[in-house]
Amino acid sequence: MEFARNKVKEGNFSINRICQLTGISKATFYNHKNPQERFEEKYVHLKKKVEKTIKDNSAYGIRRIKQALKDKYKVIIGKETLGKLLKIWGLSFKRKIKKRKRSIIQKILLSLSDRTNLLIRTKITKPMQAITSDISEIIFNGGKEKCYLAVHKDALGQMVYGFKVSMNMETNLVLNSLKEALDFLKKKKIKVKKEILFHSDQGSQYTSY
């Protein structure tokens, strides 16, 4: 059947001729739909909901679109199925995520590259030689809300000494995580050497840090 439909689509045969050659009836030919047509027809009722979700949340990926459909419309759909529909409907290629402009400080640090990164230039051979810190974004409540996790951990063994979670990404988040790390080390009677290296990212939260 797929062969017959493709030949007609390509203009090689008329419907009457291809039906004669293949021995199928015209009714069968007209009523037949290829798998993709059947697949798209099955989910066509979701197209407007998916389009609105993407329009309202242009930065969403498949996972968050899937969760948003469930939360807002009570629609449960598989990740692979959704990805296939986005491709068929041409929706996965229209979304653009705006890139944040780099600050002057970030541009300078980027140009200096490894020369400004003491952690890269230091050979880490033992614990408590360097402590790194970072902030991660956590999405929850079906993509509607987010919070931030700040951690301080050993550069060698990646053991976490302190962490804090906050609904905003301000300096206190980092300071509270650092305080928890120092309190933990003090409780365990681990002496922090004066030459220990504290490494952080380039966020403004570290200004007072």
Round to whole Å and give the CA distance between 179 and 82: 44
Round to whole Å and give the CA distance between 5 and 11: 10
Q: Is the pTM of this model over 0.85?
A: no
Torsions phi, psi for 139 (to 5 deg): -95, 135
Round to whole Å and give the CA distance between 43 and 175: 50
Give the domain range for residue 6.
2-89
Query: Does a structural domain hold residue 106?
Result: no
Q: Which residues pair with 138 in a beta bridge?
A: 147
Round to whole Å and give the CA distance between 161 and 151: 8
Report DSSP state, residue 193: P
Does residue 33 contact residue 41 with C-beta atoms inside 8 Å?
yes
Whether 194 and 142 share a structural domain: yes
Helix pair angle (79-89, 35-43), 10° resolution? 100
Whether 124 and 168 share a structural domain: yes
Whether 20 and 85 share a structural domain: yes
Query: Does a structural domain hold residue 144?
Result: yes
Task: Name the E strands within the chain.
Answer: 130-140, 145-154, 160-166, 197-199
Does residue 82 contact residue 65 with C-beta atoms inside 8 Å?
yes
pLDDT tens over the chain, length 209 residues: 777 777 777 888 888 888 888 888 878 877 776 677 778 878 889 999 999 998 888 888 888 999 999 999 999 999 899 999 998 888 865 555 566 777 787 776 666 655 556 666 678 888 888 888 889 999 988 888 889 999 999 988 889 999 999 998 888 999 999 999 999 989 988 887 777 887 776 555 554 44
Q: Which two tokens stand for residue 149?
A: 């996790």
* Amino acid in the structure at residue 150: A
Query: Does a structural domain hold residue 95?
Result: no
Query: Does a structural domain hold residue 21?
Result: yes
